[in-house]
Structure 1
Amino acid sequence: MIAGTTLNGSGPQSGRAARADVQRDMTAARRIMERADELARHSAMEGGIERTYLSPEHAEVDALAAGWMREAGLTTWQDASGARVGRLEGERPGLPALILGSHLDTVPDAGRYDGPLGVLLAIEVARRIAESGRHLPFALETYAFAEEEGVRFGATLLCSRALAGTWTDDLWSLRDADGVSLRRAFTDFGLDPARVGDAARVAAEPGPSADAGPRGVVGYLEAHIEQGPELEAAGRPLGVVTSIAGARRLEITVTGEARHAGGTPYPRRRDALVGASEAVVAIERIGRERDVIATVGRLHVEPGGVNVVPGRAVFSLDLRAETDEKRDAAWEEIAATMKEICTRRGLDLGVEQFHEARSVSCAPPLMDAVASGIRTATGAGAEPMRIWSRAGHDAMAVADMCDIAMMFIRCHDGISHAPDESVLESDVAVALNAYEAAILALAERYEA
């Protein structure tokens, strides 16, 4: 906090008023933390957290979010993809909206802040603006997306893709582990597959004269835990996201010859596992040298006998970087290196790419507003830390429709997608103030 000023930049105030603001901030932060705990109790996993799209747990947390949005003074509805939306009108009804969003679904055995913290911060900041009586030059909308992680049907960012208008018909044939199609799950949940296009919005031109109506969107902001250790290492509570990594995911097959381990001398062996192992070590080396993230997360060997030379090895590769150019250059070197290894060892190499997502850059005007909000909330003279996101987020999909920006909140040791995910209540209070200040900064720029 800046001594002698309010966190929302409204001018000098007394020590008593400043103490009242601190108390208000910590009360709000505590409410957010308690609500995160309440969401965590809605899980399909015994002793852990798991919530997937179009499940009973989805319905349960949707009802909670709806109640909290109404309590904050928002009009609320469920959109055609199953996302929960809340709206606070601007200085007049029907204006285009600034969207504040994140997700409520989880990975299996999840932490309680990846996604939900951003949703709860959005609701709380909308409450604060509603209670202040301010009239913004745009509406505020809070989105609680119901499918970001891709756990149930294998496709990520479904609700944010629906918002951006990039939902495709091939998605309907996806099936979960029980064989239930996405189309069937949609219908069973009470949604109409034929109306999923109704969730799509359109970008509005900036400025108070813009006439895109309530379906128009002036921009998208997302608050999210960092899911990395950089903020904590730097002693910073918040950071500005510059871009979101583009990922390529591939399945790599190395084929040799399965033979008796005892009877096959080394010069005669075409060992697929040894070749794959050499490739995996090379992938890590190239990732380190090129400052890209290259991860082999799965390895399967056939035929799998303890006394059989492996004839086939299949492994995954998740490759991501700050820019698509860096990522693709690393892949070219990895592919050439694997080809050399296999040729030298008499092995065959097969590569199948099953996922690709382009990197997304955050919009400079929105990033500047987030940075301004962080400076206001922290009172720090130094420029806020800027970080590229190694993980994917709903903002990636929304970027197909409008400008986006993100704010990261420090999480302990960068741990995420695990029960030990942890944030500080005091950081949540600072994040709430920064979020509010960023929205007010955007309002001033929008009017100008």
Structure 2
Amino acid sequence: MASHDIERLGARAEAMLEELAAISEEPDRLTRRFLTPEHKRAAHLVGQWMAEAGMSVAEDALATVRGHYAGEGEAAGANAVPRLLVGSHIDTVINAGKYDGMLGVVAGILAVEHFRDQDRRFPFAVDVLAFGDEEGSRFPTVLSSSAALAGQFESRWLPGLDGDGIPLEQAMRDYGLDPQAVAAAAMRRDEALAYVEVHIEQGPVLEHQDAPLGVVTSIAGQFRSRVTVRGMAGHAGTVPMAMRQDALVAAAEMVVAAEAIARERPEAAMVATVGTMKVMPGAANVVPDIVEFVLDLRASSDAPRVKALAEFTHRCEKIAAARGCSVTLETYHDCATAACAPWLQQGLARSLEQLGLPAPRLVSGAGHDGQSMSKLTDFAMLFVRCKGGISHNPAEFAGIRDMGLAVAALITFIENFDPAGHRA
């Protein structure tokens, strides 16, 4: 078994996560959305930790904080080619837990700090990345920061509005970024050897198997579609039930239809969620005339996911017509199923075995920056057990020893990383 002070590594991770969790838009709960002042404060703190760990630090046009640990013989601060990329995200959902995303950033920093203390370099550089738009909790974008690094940013995202009517491009300027410089954030394929991310599982599989860590095989594909239902407003007391064109009742039927469609496809591990809905005009005594909601549809493979969205669209049209309403769907996020590279999975599994741990394999139902990064380079993920499988919730929890093991596994993985080993 490799020799690491697991408890110390885990305690360091917990202390850093606690410090990050104190940076929030709200005093009584953790909310840190993309390009807010709180995101900027968190990015500054992460950059400070990276510098203290021996990395040169930069921030790109999408506010991704990049810490660079130079390779053997590389001049300090130079852009090494090639580099192993390690990272995750520092944005959160509204009313979040403190481990989702942030653990992967902290783990990368602690791994580099370990090598700094050993005065150890590798034939490759190590870049630690702190992305800012993984959750999509502010703008109608998801993974835009990692997409920019992977050269996949779409200019059509720039006019997208947040809940206060602020477009993404304006928020970028307010943050101190240049929307015209997005292309400069892209990394070349020959610069990146691989991308590896440590993340809490956000599910109950590892806990059920009594395994602290697991190796991810793939990330489920995902749609996010904005659905707008239009009916006719009317007086709540005077419009007879049979004559109503109630957009909310139609929307409610559509939500139930989405649930039914997902339940009909258990073999695809399909899940459908509606977590946000806007009802207009929003008065207790007025029949709603416009309702907007977002459908989040995920599956373990793409063909059934595409078929399910088509069926959902058809059912929505039938429901709307039956109630004298109309409906439109706009799919603004379509992320294909992303497979983790087998050679990187094997590397992570060997690292767990060296720590005397089992190496269970599992699929991620949650989306991650790896889906963007797969367009740039091979990627893999190491999952960390979380209590009850709870995530996107203040009750989210990972134990100190499990986090320490995750950092140790990442250190071991980097020590054994052979970028030429997978070349055919």
Q: Which TM class, normalised by the smaller chain length? A: 0.7 to 0.9
Q: Distance between the aligned counterparts of 1:323 and 1:279, measured in 2?
A: 23
The residue aligned with 1:201 is 187
- TM-score using structure 1 length: 0.81
The residue aligned with 1:207 is none
Residue 42 (structure 2) pairs with residue 42 (structure 1)? no
Going from structure 1 to structure 2, the CA distance change for 1:338 and 1:153 (only over 3 Å counts) comes to: closer
Which of 304, 314, 328 is 1:351 aligned to?
A: 328
The residue aligned with 2:12 is 31
- Structure 2 alignment gaps of length 5 or more: 75-79
Q: Secondary structure at the match of 1:47?
A: coil
Question: What letter corresponds to residue 250 of structure 1 in structure 2?
Answer: S
The residue aligned with 1:211 is none
* Count of residues in Structure 1 that have an aligned counterpart in Structure 2: 414
Which of 386, 394, 405 is 1:411 aligned to?
A: 386
**Where do 1:389-400 residues align within 5 Å?**
389-400=364-375
Q: Which moved more, 1:257-266 or 1:94-103?
A: 257-266
Q: Secondary structure at the match of 1:328?
A: helix
**Where do 1:40-439 residues align within 5 Å?**
40-93=21-74, 94-204=80-190, 216-253=191-228, 274-291=249-266, 292-299=270-277, 314-339=292-317, 341=319, 345=322, 347-359=324-336, 360-380=338-358, 384-439=359-414
Going from structure 1 to structure 2, the CA distance change for 1:170 and 1:339 (only over 3 Å counts) comes to: closer
Q: Would you say the 8 A contact 1:30–1:425 is kept in 2?
A: yes
Q: Distance between the aligned counterparts of 1:250 and 1:171, measured in 2?
A: 15
Larger CA Rg, structure 1 vs 2 = 1
Q: Secondary structure at the match of 1:416?
A: coil
What do residues 254-305 of structure 1 show as CA deviations (whole Å, max 9, x unaligned)? 5667778888887777665555444433322221220211123345566777
Q: Aligned residues: percent identity? A: 39
Going from structure 1 to structure 2, the CA distance change for 1:71 and 1:257 (only over 3 Å counts) comes to: closer
Q: Distance between the aligned counterparts of 2:37 and 2:384, measured in 1?
A: 29
What do residues 126-177 of structure 1 show as CA deviations (whole Å, max 9, x unaligned)? 1223333444231111111233223343322232122112223334434444
Going from structure 1 to structure 2, the CA distance change for 1:446 and 1:129 (only over 3 Å counts) comes to: farther
Q: Secondary structure at the match of 1:34?
A: helix
Give the Å deviation of 1:222. Answer: 0.8
Q: Distance between the aligned counterparts of 2:326 and 2:404, measured in 1?
A: 52
Q: Which moved more, 1:269-278 or 1:138-147?
A: 269-278
What do residues 300-337 of structure 1 show as CA deviations (whole Å, max 9, x unaligned)? 56677778777666543221111221211222333444
Question: What letter corresponds to residue 92 of structure 2 in structure 1?
Answer: T
- Structure 1 alignment gaps of length 5 or more: 1-5, 8-20, 205-215
Q: Would you say the 8 A contact 2:61–2:184 is kept in 1?
A: yes
Q: Secondary structure at the match of 2:381?
A: strand
Q: Which moved more, 1:195-204 or 1:145-154?
A: 145-154
Q: Distance between the aligned counterparts of 2:205 and 2:20, measured in 1?
A: 27
Going from structure 1 to structure 2, the CA distance change for 1:299 and 1:37 (only over 3 Å counts) comes to: closer
Cα RMSD after superposing both structures: 3.0
Q: Distance between the aligned counterparts of 1:136 and 1:308, measured in 2?
A: 67
Q: Would you say the 8 A contact 2:343–2:422 is kept in 1?
A: no
Q: Would you say the 8 A contact 1:42–1:49 is kept in 2?
A: yes
Q: Would you say the 8 A contact 2:313–2:329 is kept in 1?
A: no
The residue aligned with 1:15 is none
Question: What letter corresponds to residue 64 of structure 1 in structure 2?
Answer: L
Question: What letter corresponds to residue 222 of structure 1 in structure 2?
Answer: E
Q: Which moved more, 1:160-169 or 1:170-179?
A: 170-179
Q: Secondary structure at the match of 2:48?
A: helix
Question: What letter corresponds to residue 90 of structure 2 in structure 1?
Answer: L
Q: Distance between the aligned counterparts of 1:411 and 1:199, measured in 2?
A: 33
- TM-score using structure 2 length: 0.86
Going from structure 1 to structure 2, the CA distance change for 1:184 and 1:386 (only over 3 Å counts) comes to: same
